[in-house]
Structure 1
Amino acid sequence: MKRESNVMHNTLFRFVKQVASLAQKLTDAALMELSDPAGNGFAGWKHAVLLYLREHMSAEYEEIIDWAEEMERVRAVLNLQRGEFPAPSTLCKAFKRASMTVWRQLLRRSAELLDQNGHAAIDATYFDRQQASSHYLRRIDRSVKTIQTTFLVDTAEGAILDLHCSTKWPDETKIGPKVALRNAGDLRSLAADKGYDDMSFREELRNAGIRPLIKHRVFAPGSYITQRNTLTTKQSRRPCSGAPARFNVRTNP
């Protein structure tokens, strides 16, 4: 049991070290968003590490602070002593201050640790929002139940390269270019389903040096496939006269 506990602590410590390394590479603007506006000498990257750790362990703010204070190696990475950690409310405020740009930077840097092949796929899914701020709901004058999340995923490692979240469910052909083109320098091809079928999107990808692998939509009833199937059905109902009518075989006397 003790051995299992040590393994768990070692794994978590490696996670903390890696996150600390990534967080210290954030831009100055991102670090300012995370830093305590009142000063108190608590750097923004340290807030980022504790917030990452909270999500990783699915814990409350109080639990993360208590746990981190008791871990000597974690204190060493953060260069903090017992009693120097932020209050849970301070950590919560840091999370609320940070914009999506901050987390997108961290996501991108974490993906760079993996071997990527330049071939990516994009798709959207929907998540139910269990709890939403009542203040936020009043401000936007709507009830937010489901969030549309668009993922850009590397096909080699399955790593999430980028994402876009929206409560307004925008059209995929509008979000696709936005997500893909801000990562154009790292992509060689992009796969997507027919929801992203748009000629202007394809042209934008080609102009950026990215090969579009996007399925085409089939529009009924005037589509080629629909017409072909209808013609085949009609021909199959004709009386057989030596050869199937749909093959249109003619014989010379």
Structure 2
Amino acid sequence: MSQNAVTGEPAPAVEKGDGGYADWVIVSIHCLREYLNQPYRRLLDILYEMPGISAKLGLSVDQLPDFTTVCTRKQDLKMRIWRVLLRLSVSLHELGDVQAIDATGFKRHQASRHYVLRVGYNFDDIKTTALVDCDTSVIIDIHCSMKQPHDTQVGRQVLTRNLAQLTTITADKSYDWDALRHELRDAGIRPVIKHREFYGLDKAHNARHDENVYHRRSVVEAIFFALKHRFGETLRARTWFGQFRELVLKAAVRNIEQAVKL
């Protein structure tokens, strides 16, 4: 799967000279790190005692990279690779007929005051929006922000780039936007999104919703709880782009774990 996430033909695991370690090897090691929930130093020590796993990476234990190399290369890999990995993990499952979207916050290690001012942090947590399948509990897509964009704007971005995966989408009132509903209907998707009740017509719209379908959005909250219980509530990365990569990787690893359990 890591090989498929990298553009082009998979390179040899390691090449002498400037080639270094192949991108897919670094991606695989990071997946193992999240799965085992270990720091970089400890992870490489574990792999040194597991020659069978190292062989799957095309490496002998003497060829394993230094932990500093693994850490640095993660920042060098483009975000596209991690998103492709997430999509590949979704393809391991057969999605159901109802999907849901919601948001939560993940804590982060405190960065320096200088870095906070330079990048414009204005929110203590990483705002994380997840699109999930209610039948399989698979995380289809994930969006992260260090600020507080409105849920309707984030929801539109996440949903429109995953239209082919959606059948019925359910969400709470924070995603109440008629333009979003129209866009979903035009794509053949049924929106079950509650209206904020300003007028009697809004109450009438809400009364027409299938409550059983609407309340399936609670699956998102259960997945957020499972993610935080499995990997912890605090992200290890200190930079915003590192935190985004970490969250996408956690989602992909969870999807793979769910597929293995089936």
**TM-score past 0.5 threshold:** yes
Counterpart residue number, 1:6:
none
1:50 and 1:117 map into 2 onto residues whose CA distance is 31
Please show how residues 64-143 of structure 1 align to structure 2 within 5 Å: 64-132=43-111, 136-142=115-121
1:179 and 1:171 map into 2 onto residues whose CA distance is 13
* Alpha-carbon contact 1:119-1:189 (below 8 Å) kept: yes
**Aligned AA for 1:110?**
S
2:189 and 2:47 map into 1 onto residues whose CA distance is 44
Give deviations 1:15-48, integer Å, cap 9, x for gaps: xxxxxxx11111418x99xx99x83431101100
Give deviations 1:134-164, integer Å, cap 9, x for gaps: 6642421446521110000001111111000
Give the match's secondary structure for 2:18: coil
* TM-score of the aligned structures, taking structure 1 as reference length: 0.71
**Aligned AA for 1:106?**
L
Distance 1:166 1:205, change over 3 A: same
Equivalent position to 1:206, from 182, 185, 197: 185
2:120 and 2:174 map into 1 onto residues whose CA distance is 29
Give the match's secondary structure for 1:83: helix
Instruction: Extract unaligned runs of 5+ from structure 1.
Output: 1-21, 228-253
* Alpha-carbon contact 1:129-1:146 (below 8 Å) kept: yes
How many residues matched?
A: 200
Give deviations 1:44-84, integer Å, cap 9, x for gaps: 01100111111111211111112112212112111101221
**Aligned AA for 2:67?**
P
Equivalent position to 2:30, from 30, 44, 51: 51
2:83 and 2:112 map into 1 onto residues whose CA distance is 22
1:218 and 1:156 map into 2 onto residues whose CA distance is 29
Give deviations 1:75-99, integer Å, cap 9, x for gaps: 2111101221111111111122234
Larger radius of gyration: 1
Give the match's secondary structure for 1:115: coil
* TM-score of the aligned structures, taking structure 2 as reference length: 0.69
Query: What percent identity do the matched residue pairs reach?
Result: 38
